[in-house]
Every structure is written in structure tokens, then in C-alpha cells.
A and B are shown apart, each in its own frame.
Chain A
Amino acid sequence: MPGNSFRKVYVIPCSGIGKMYGLLGREAVLKTVKELRPDKAATMCLALLVYGDDEARKEINGARCITVDGCPKLCAAKNVEQAGGVVVERVRAVDAFRNHRGVDAGTAAHLTAAGWQIADELAADLAGKVDRWYDASEEK
């Protein structure tokens, strides 16, 4: 688990192992927390949180969270809320395809070059959202 301060914004993807959207969302989140906003954002294993790990729940309780879901079941958004996180943005990976209709982005196991491009665009969008919520906390 990355070391996190209370002010960090959590960006949490669904696990989404069965569909390409799950992988794309997950990779976008990893880029956001590792490369684009390592000082402002962190992630967490959704399953660990859902299973009720005390440490994970304590960490997320009251924290601002951006969830990224791969399917309409919105497991990440619902489960993070149930665990006590404050979901400030619900992002759906499918929405990143608005400007890429019909593109072959890959599979649940790998992304094509176009898929990586979309994942990077989604990551940039997530980074902007992280800035907004992190900075809002600074102002307070």
C-alpha cells in the first residue's frame, strides 16, 4: 500500500478482469497515481477495501475518492461509498471512448496502441480531477 497523507485524493478503479474497459481504466489510474500526480493521488486495492480490511477502511474513511468503473455495475463507486470514502467523481471508462467510436482498443488482457492512447487521455482527465479536489482541500 503506498504511503498516503490524509489530503491525497484516492483514485480507485474497479478490478474489471473480464473486459477491456476494466484494464483500460486500471491502467489509466496507475498512470495517474504513479506518473502524473504521485504527490497528490494514491490508489488502493478495491478487493481489500470491500473485504473490510481495517487498515484500508480507516485510510479511506472520509477521504475524497475518484472511482473509475469499467461496466455499468459501478462496483468501484458503490463499494468505495459503502466503505466510507467520499466519492467526489464517478468516472466510467466507456466515456473515454466518446471521441474514439469504433476503435479497436484491445482486450481484457492487452491494449492496442489506440487503447493506450485512450488510457493516456483518461489519465490526463483524471489528473485534472485530482488537481481540482486536491486544491479545493488546500483552500480550506
Chain B
Amino acid sequence: MSEEGRLSVGLISCSGEACPGGTISRLATQKVLRSIRPGYNFVTICLPLFMAGGEEERNFARDYPTITIDGCEKCCALKATEALSGPVSGKVVVTDLIAKEDIGEGTLSIRELTGEQKAMVDHVAAAILEQVTKIKQEG
């Protein structure tokens, strides 16, 4: 599905206030949103708004390919999207890509990101873009 010849792709990140993977998933999502990818139109959706009944958001995820990005194994974004809008076109789980002990514990502010955590953001963003490419290839 396209808008002005561009493929629209929804990105739904977990909110992840209480775990460092949440901050990494959000930053990676933001990075992809800001990336220049000719031919693509990336759209993000606030997960709690989506879950609480945002019809516009639910319809978007139903009609357009959507990728969920979760910070931990609880996979709130994936589960909620599949329950409310149907199967997702791609999924990224930070803890599948990076060992939990490497990510750290507790909450993570963007002002205290280490160089290693910044690299994790890049890694997760690349994983999201891989999913985007896969969606395009599968048509």
C-alpha cells in the first residue's frame, strides 16, 4: 500500500518507561522515523493510545504494514497490535538482539546513554530497517 508512490509503514514501539530496553526501542524507532529512505513513509503510533481505543491508529495498523518494536520479552507492543489490529508485518524485540545483562537494569534516561547503549540503538534501528526491506521484497 502506498501514499504518493511511497510505501507507508507503521512503527509501534513499546512505551518501556521502566526498562532500559524500552528506551532503546524508542530511540531506535525515532532513528528510523528520521532516517531518509526514499520510497518510504514511516508513521509512528503511541502504544497506550492505540491500546486504549484510538480507532484511527487501529485502522492504520490494520490497513498498512506495521512493525512492532519491544524492549523486553513481555512484548506488549506485539501482543496488543496483534490483538487489536491483526498480524504484524514485522517484529523486533530488543532482548532477542542484545543480552539482557548487557542492556542493564532499571530505568534509562536518554541523557545517561553510554556509547555502548548508543551502539545498541543503532543495532536495533538496523534490525527495524531489515524488517522494512523484507516487507518491501514480499510486496
A39-55 interface with B by 8 A CB criterion: 43-48, 50-51, 53
A94-123 interface with B by 8 A CB criterion: 108-110, 116
> Is the Cβ of B106 less than 8 Å from the Cβ of A75?
no
Closest to A26 in B: B17
Q: How many residues of A contact B (CB 8 A)?
A: 37
Option from B27, B31, B77, B106 in Cβ contact (under 8 Å) with A34: B106
> Is the Cβ of A47 less than 8 Å from the Cβ of B51?
yes
Q: A47-B48, A47-B80, A53-B74 are in contact. Are A17 and B16 (CB under 8 A)?
A: no
Q: Once the chains are docked, how many angstroms separate the CA of A18 from the CA of B33?
A: 10
How far in angstroms is the closest Cβ of chain A from B7? 20
What is the interface of chain A mostly: helix, strand, loop, or mixed?
helix
Give the interface size bracket for B toward A: 20 to 34
Q: Once the chains are docked, how many angstroms separate the CA of A2 from the CA of B107?
A: 8
Per-position contact with B for A63-104: 1 when CB-CB < 8 Å, else 0?
Answer: 000000000010110110010000000000000000000000
> Taking the complex as formed, is B76 at the interface, i.e. its CB lies under 8 A from any CB of chain A?
yes
Option from A17, A29, A45, A79 in Cβ contact (under 8 Å) with B76: A45
Task: Report A's interface with B, CB cutoff 8 A.
Answer: 1-2, 12-18, 22-23, 26-27, 29-31, 33-34, 43-48, 50-51, 53, 73, 75-76, 78-79, 82, 108-110, 116
